[in-house]
């Protein structure tokens, strides 16, 4: 029978029995003068979550010391302390990995320039025809002065008609 399927009353009874067994084992060990072997619960394993390397901690500590050295230097502390801390921080910085040498970069630049010169040589040079410059660009979608005059005349005629009919609005 699994412990999951037990009722609360059965679990209490099992706990009481376990306490009685432990007590009897203690009494037995006192009588015989030897220590009784008790069954211990299985040890739980703990897993490290996250964490930081020693080098990372050292960098953080050095940066903190530098920060405090700057703060204390502002409070008129000796500059020698600040220089010593700066030197420690510079020494603690990791060495840059990877990267590219100047010669390698120069080779890549030269190869790229050669590629572009071949591409430019292969394209025919086509000159666009020169457009005549117009005096003033015309606005699209606008209304001419004549159109505005026609609309104004029509509006005046409608209002005159409305007034003659005795209406205040259209």
Do the domain assignments include residue 64? yes
Q: How far apart are the first and last CA of the chain?
A: 95
- Domain of 11, in residue numbers: 3-32
DSSP-derived letter for residue 166 is T
Do the domain assignments include residue 60? yes
Mean pLDDT value of segment 31-57: 71
Q: Is the pLDDT of residue 69 over 60?
A: yes
Do the domain assignments include residue 146? no
Query: Residue 137 CA to chain centroid, in angstroms?
Result: 49
Do the domain assignments include residue 86? yes
Distance CA 90, CA 82 (A): 12
Distance CA 8, CA 18 (A): 15
Mean pLDDT value of segment 124-141: 66
Distance CA 153, CA 147 (A): 10
Do the domain assignments include residue 135? no
**Within this chain, do residues 28 and 58 fall inside the same structural domain, yes or no?**
no
Q: Could you tell me the pTM of the whole model? A: 0.22
Q: Report pLDDT for 117.
A: 92
Q: Report pLDDT for 99.
A: 82
Q: What is the mean pLDDT of the chain?
A: 80
Nearest to 62 by CA among 95, 89, 94: 89
In total, how many domains does the chain have? Answer: 2
């Amino acid at each position: 029978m699994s412990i999951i399927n037990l009722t609360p009353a059965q679990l209490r009874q099992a706990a009481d029995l376990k306490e009685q067994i432990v007590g009897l084992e203690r009494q037995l060990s006192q009588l015989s003068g030897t220590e009784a072997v008790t069954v211990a619960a299985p040890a739980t394993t703990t897993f490290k979550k996250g964490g930081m390397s020693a080098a990372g901690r050292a960098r953080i500590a050095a940066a903190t010391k530098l920060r405090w050295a700057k703060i204390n230097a502002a409070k008129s502390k000796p500059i020698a302390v600040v220089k010593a801390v700066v030197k420690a921080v510079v020494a603690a910085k990791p060495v840059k990995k990877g990267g590219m040498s100047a010669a390698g970069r120069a080779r890549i630049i030269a190869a790229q320039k050669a590629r572009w010169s071949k591409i430019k040589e292969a394209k025919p040079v086509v000159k666009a025809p020169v457009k005549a410059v117009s005096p003033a660009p015309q606005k699209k979608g606008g209304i001419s002065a004549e159109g505005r005059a026609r609309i104004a005349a029509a509006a005046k005629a409608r209002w005159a008609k409305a007034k003659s009919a005795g209406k205040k609005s259209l």
